[in-house]
Amino acid sequence: MAMEGDVMTTVDATRAGAGLTTEEAAARLRVDGPNRLAGPKRKHPLLVLAAQLVHFFALMLWVAAVLAVIAGMPALAVAIVVVVVLNGVFSFVQEYRADRAAERLRELLPVRATVRRDGRAVVVDAAELVVGDVVLLEAGDRICVDATVLPGGRLSVDESMLTGESKPVRPAAGGDVHAGTYVVEGHGAVVATATGSRTRLAEIAAATEHAARPHSPLANQLNRVVKTIAGIAVGVGVLFFGVSLLLGLELSEGFLFAIGVTVALVPEGLLPTVTLSLARAGQRMAARNALVRRLESVETLGATTFICTDKTGTLTRNEMSVVAVWTAHGAVEVTGEGYGPDGTLCGTPDAVRAAALVADTAARCSPDAHAVSEHGRWRPVGDPMEVALHVFATRAGVPAAPGAVARYPFDPRRRRSSVVDGDGLHLTGAPDVVLGLCTEVPAGAERVLTEMSGQGLRVVAVARRRGAVAVDGADAVEERMEFLGLVGLQDPPRSDVAEAIDACRTAGIRLAMVTGDHPGTARAIAVAVGLCDPDGIVVEGKDLPAGEDELGALLDRDGVVVARVAPEDKLRIARALQARGHVVAMTGDGVNDGPALRAADIGVAMGASGTDVAREAADLVLLDDHFGTIVSAVEQGRATFANIRRFLTYHLTDNVAELAPFAVWALSGGNIPLGLSVLQVLALDIGTDLLPALALGGEPANPRTMNGPAKTGKLIDGRLLRRAFGVLGPTEAAVSMLAFLTVLLVSGWTWGSTPTALATASGALFAAVVLGQLANAYACRSESRWVGRVGVTGNRLLTYAVGFELAMLAVFLLVPPLPELLGGHVPTALGWGMALLAVPAVLIADAVQKALRSHRRGTPRLPR
């Protein structure tokens, strides 16, 4: 561990502008280890598995198994134990895989930090920070170490994570800042005094390690669904218990019979199946550069109806370059490729000299921005716009600027940044702000500004004030400025944004550009990507209505452009649209965007260029800052919601078919034999429900997912219940009972008599349910298209699951001693023929129901 003397030595070196050397940092990293908090202690997998075996429903099953042994029914006891263990193992595997998937997703977004190494600013992984490192901080940065503030900067730090105090603090030089806090304003340098497990944050994390994790809204909704179904199952069990007593069964047999029915109907594997489905969706999104920070946000993404998107880096490439400069001496064209140093300034000699002065001043306002060459390509280090100004200065041949006395970084409220050095005050910022601070503005400046903005250029005004300058406060010194020129930066639109915007409109999602840029620039980019028409609505933040109703009415349309917005405007916009019933996705990358990102239904932060504060507040992080990635995430969210409904339909349909033999037995007063034993029902749950349901949870998004508005809301609604309980379930139940009764009648059975072919008939019923579930799995792949349109390929997991289902059917009917144990033998040829009818019956009923629904919507044809 580095000692205090080492830190002080580094402080002295920092004041000289050096920081640690690469070799020193590497040596300290080897001694102290990486700057990471110790991960939470994981429960041993066996303890997690044990928890799956002792929850409420599992305990109920254990009691039932004990009663079965006492009643002399060991086969039922063994079957119940098998169900408990299999369901427990299944749930454990699902939960374990989901947790590991969530961990892998979190690792995709490493925290980065800017440090002074070998005398220059470099960006490193936060895990590589060591004691003595000089860390350069700006607004929006997350502080990753405990540190001491160095002289020369001004920091405002949000320490609410540690102290609970919402008001930011302003540590003076020599004061302390702590890991886990955020810089909300200003800039400065700090020297690390503690890393990893030796920070104050680590102590707090250790104290809160065992805090319970709250359930998400989606988890709560699913729990309600499970409890509702379980309640129905218990009610049905009680009903059959009463019926069994009326029909003369022994009390113990009737009780165990009822318990078995209840157990068969409880969807114990539903919640872990949903969790894994969400985790899978999160992994699919990550593969497409969308990192979901909270898995339940996957479902909310699918319900998005309004996207408020930024311009820079989201609709554009965020690859800025200075292409034009205007001064009182004329216009200058700047050439060059990317962030490389090679380029030229083309114009009259006087104009070029004036442009070089502009470049010099602009570069002084971004002292730490620069470009580095990696693998033959120049990459920006720092804000892309500041790097572009730095490259502009290099191409203009401007020498390195002297060290700054004071620096006032860009602030979204002030909309400008400035630096004070030995030559005076240097200022860059939004033209309407900077021009207002200048004593004199050349004629034509406003016209040129309008022309540049109309071309889609981002325009920065540059000014200076020579001589000694007081540094008591930014606003106090930024006055009586000398106007130097306007700089036009090009940031081309992304090539496929127009396609993504069209996809949003096809999906019924409205769009608005919400940007801090000039209205002319915002309009030009919006028109270029197809977000709005040339005569579309463009409004500035200062002109937005004060009332929420009026603001919502103005913005609740497609293609609105809101320019020159303040962070507070974004928050108002999100709330106004939510008040009108929209599910709002709001993008943001700045430190002050946090409230808006939290208020939106889906906060979207930039992973490549955004601040740590924005990423922490967001639900979704775009690893590539690409608007098209939002659209992909919405598509996956819709697909996930549909998948949850798919396997819910599948589960409920199966329950109807399983209950039918018991209902027929009870309603006939026992004159019709019971077609399925409790053991067979349990076997059906094991053989038909688990893997196909899991496969339906992984169904890929179909090409129609983004056609029309989102079909989200309640997981179980009237449409799903009608389909499961009114169409698919009754069809499957009717065919299976028909197979059972046909085999009985052919064998000579009559009403109320003792059947001689009960086991064979029961095998036919059992096979019919399994085959009906096979068809049901494919029918559940779509709520609107019949299987002939969807096809049987496209979901490899379902193909494997169906193969397993058929294999289990053969095992249950053919492999001794299972047929005798379960009570169902291999069906006759007639029985197989009747059982096979379940497949076309379910598929035809599904197709007819979808065709009728399509006809009611005004499209009288077989659903496509």
**Angstrom distances, CA of residue 102 to CA of 294, 381, 424, 621, 701:** 9, 30, 52, 14, 21
Q: Under 8 Å CB-to-CB from 39, ≥6 apart: which residues?
A: none
Q: Where are the alpha helices (DSSP H) in 136-249?
A: 160-163, 200-207, 217-246
> Is the Cα torsion angle 86, 91, 92, 93 positive or negative in sign?
positive
- Distance CA(863)–CA(844), nearest Å, equals 12
Q: How far is CA 444 from the centre of its chain?
A: 48
Is 310 an active-site residue? Answer: yes
Query: For 141, phi and psi rounded to 5 degrees?
Result: -80, 145
Question: CA angle at residue 701 from 697 to 704, to 5 degrees?
Answer: 135
- Distance CA(691)–CA(273), nearest Å, equals 10
Indicate the helix (H) or strand (E) that contains 184: strand 182-194
Q: Where are the alpha helices (DSSP H) in 313-370?
A: 349-364
The total number of residues shown for the chain amounts to 864
Which member of 310, 383, 589, 601 is catalytic? 310
* List of E strands, 293-348: 306-309, 321-327, 330-336, 343-346
Separate counts of helices (H) and strands (E) for the chain: 33, 26
Q: Give the residue from 41, 36, 38, 31 showing the smallest Cα distance to 179.
A: 36
- Distance CA(655)–CA(90), nearest Å, equals 19
Token readout for 709 is 């508005």
Token readout for 21 is 């050397």
**Angstrom distances, CA of residue 259 to CA of 65, 202, 271, 857:** 10, 50, 22, 44
Q: Under 8 Å CB-to-CB from 173, ≥6 apart: which residues?
A: 149, 150, 151, 152
Q: Are β-strands 584-588 and 424-429 bridged in parallel, bridged antiparallel, or unpaired?
A: unpaired
Q: How far is CA 858 from the centre of its chain?
A: 36
Which residue in the block uniquely carries the two structure tokens 């899991």? 694
Q: Give the residue from 359, 608, 570 showing the smallest Cα distance to 485.
A: 359
- Distance CA(87)–CA(595), nearest Å, equals 43
Active-site annotation, residues: 310
